[in-house]
Amino acid sequence: MNGEVIAPHGLNGSDAFDGSNGADGGAGRQLLREQLNRLCLISAVSGFEGEATSGILDCFKGLYDESRTDTLGNCIMVKRGEISKNRGLKTGQETVAYRDVTSPSKFLERLHALLPGAGYRDVASPTKPSPIKASFVEPSPIKVMLAAHVDEVGLVVTRVEDGGFLRFTCTGKIDPRVLPGAEVLVLGKEKLPGVIGSVPPHLRERRKSDEERQAVGFDDLYVDTGLPGERLKEMVRVGDPMRFASTCVSLGENRLAGRALDDRVGLLAVRVCLGRLMKSRHEADVFAVATTGEEIGLKGATVAAYGIHPDVAIAVDATFGLEPGVAEHEGSKLGEGPAIGIGPNVHPRIAKTLLQICNELNIPHQVEVIPGPSGTDAWAVQISREGVPTALVSIPVRSMHTPSEVVDLRDIEWAGRLLAEFVIRLDSDSLGKMSEAWL
Ligand SMILES: [Zn+2]
């Protein structure tokens, strides 16, 4: 990612290719494809997301006012709404806005840089002597959390063998049958290319038992880096992560295949949303969160939701795309819009609002019935603190958790537009109606 420059405002209303601006959208589609490519350059195997923050901030450059990370590595980007614009230092009649400063203490630092020797009276400690009469103005706007996970399923080295082979297990759900022949990147001291080896079929046929002939388990697999054992032991340690090395491939006009699209597509939808919000008035503060550890137990979203304490939240994730072997009731169609979840993990009024927006603006969409745990960040966010009215918007992905997941770019664009329209309509009235009762 380093050194690459991206368009500061990204895909917004004027670039959209979803028909909302009457354009054919070729340029918008290309831009979206490029942005997804960039997001997919980030390595973030669940539990090893340390490198992700700079890549995420780079991809979202120009679209947020403040950012921070937390102990679990969540990358939280805040786009302030209209109400927050009144934050600042009040001296007499005047309020100095400070959109780039995140706390009273940071503000004091900033104030002293601008006006050496000046002081102010913090509302938290009003008795402190102050050369100028001033107070800290902190309005409390609605906070909406948009959560999409940055982590991806991957592999972890369990043994470095003398012969130069790496044995491994997986982090997140991976079917070992999809692994033989896959290219991987070993994220050790340096990034090393490797391939997952497999016993040739000719030899496998000679194995005595059915089990030996058919089984593909993690114990049968190894990564071949081509390096001698001693050299490999210098470069790689037990516990180092590995990710799939596949890059994005365009399929047809609107589709793309690649690794980690679950859930880089969700992050891209959030990016599309923020791009649109750059051109629209919105009251609420938007907390766009690239969450960590989703694939291994919704860890990032759990603490991010606690820290942000949102008034309302939407998780944006991948869902099963329809493909051979997936029954109609088990998946959603690619290219027919984001799937809006309904079920116990989703606040019914928020889901209803999302459906209303889609119908009003002719945004293609599908309904996904989720009778129990959704297995997404929505599950953790919903039960944070005293409960958060939460919804789930999902983008259909085929061949999920393989090196070659497949998505339709239009679904991402539509999801982003839906999120933006939801935020634009959000005020204390609409929030009150949405969250007053579970009905
Ligand atoms: Zn996911």
CA of 427 to the centre of ligand 1 (A): 29
First-to-last alpha carbon distance for the chain, in angstroms, is 45
Angle between helices 428-435 and 348-361 (to 10 degrees): 130
pLDDT recorded at residue 421: 98
CA of 318 to the centre of ligand 1 (A): 5
pLDDT at 160 over 80: yes
pLDDT at 312 over 80: yes
pLDDT recorded at residue 316: 98
pLDDT confidence bin for 205, thresholds 50/70/90: confident
What is d(CA 141, CA 311) in angstroms, rounded to the nearest whole number? 9
What is d(CA 346, CA 373) in angstroms, rounded to the nearest whole number? 10
Sequence ranges of the domains in the chain: 13-82+142-152+259-435, 88-135, 154-244
Residue 49: CB atoms within 10 A of its CB come to 27
Amino acid at 295: E
Check if the beta carbon of residue 40 is closer than 8 Å to that of residue 247.
yes
pLDDT at 289 over 90: yes
pLDDT at 7 over 50: no
pLDDT confidence bin for 200, thresholds 50/70/90: confident
pLDDT at 4 over 50: no
CA of 293 to the centre of ligand 1 (A): 10
pLDDT tens digit sequence for 60-93: 999 999 999 999 999 999 999 988 877 766 655 5
Strand pairing class (88-91; 135-137): antiparallel
Give me the percent of the chain exceeding a pLDDT of 90: 69
Average pLDDT over residues 282-307: 96
* Conformation bin of residue 338: beta by default, left when phi > 0, alpha when psi is -120 to 50: beta
Q: State which CATH number among 2.40.50.140, 2.40.30.40, 2.60.40.10, 1.10.8.190 fits the domain covering 154-244.
A: 2.40.30.40
pLDDT recorded at residue 139: 74
What is d(CA 422, CA 340) in angstroms, rounded to the nearest whole number? 13
CA of 152 to the centre of ligand 1 (A): 8
User: Higher confidence at residue 257 or residue 439?
Assistant: 257
What is d(CA 243, CA 145) in angstroms, rounded to the nearest whole number? 28
Fold classification of 13-82+142-152+259-435 is Aminopeptidase (3.40.630)
pLDDT at 352 over 90: yes
Average pLDDT over residues 312-325: 96
Check if the beta carbon of residue 277 is closer than 8 Å to that of residue 424.
yes
Average pLDDT over residues 15-30: 62
Average pLDDT over residues 223-242: 95
Average pLDDT over residues 272-293: 96
pLDDT recorded at residue 140: 78
Average pLDDT over residues 302-308: 97
CA of 294 to the centre of ligand 1 (A): 7
CA of 15 to the centre of ligand 1 (A): 27
Give me the percent of the chain exceeding a pLDDT of 70: 81
CA of 263 to the centre of ligand 1 (A): 5
Amino acid at 178: V
C-alpha radius of gyration, the chain, whole number: 24
294, 295, 368, 421: which one is catalytic? 294
The token pair at 220 is 């049968």
User: Higher confidence at residue 374 or residue 106?
Assistant: 374
Residues with a beta carbon under 5 angstroms from ion ligand 1: 262-263, 317-318
Strand pairing class (405-408; 339-342): unpaired
* Conformation bin of residue 101: beta by default, left when phi > 0, alpha when psi is -120 to 50: beta
pLDDT at 248 over 60: yes
230 counts as catalytic:
no
The per-residue pLDDT of the chain, averaged, comes to: 86
Listing from the earlier edge strand, what are the strands of the sheet with 66-69? Answer: 66-69, 75-79, 285-291, 143-149, 312-320, 390-397, 339-342, 366-369
User: Higher confidence at residue 396 or residue 199?
Assistant: 396
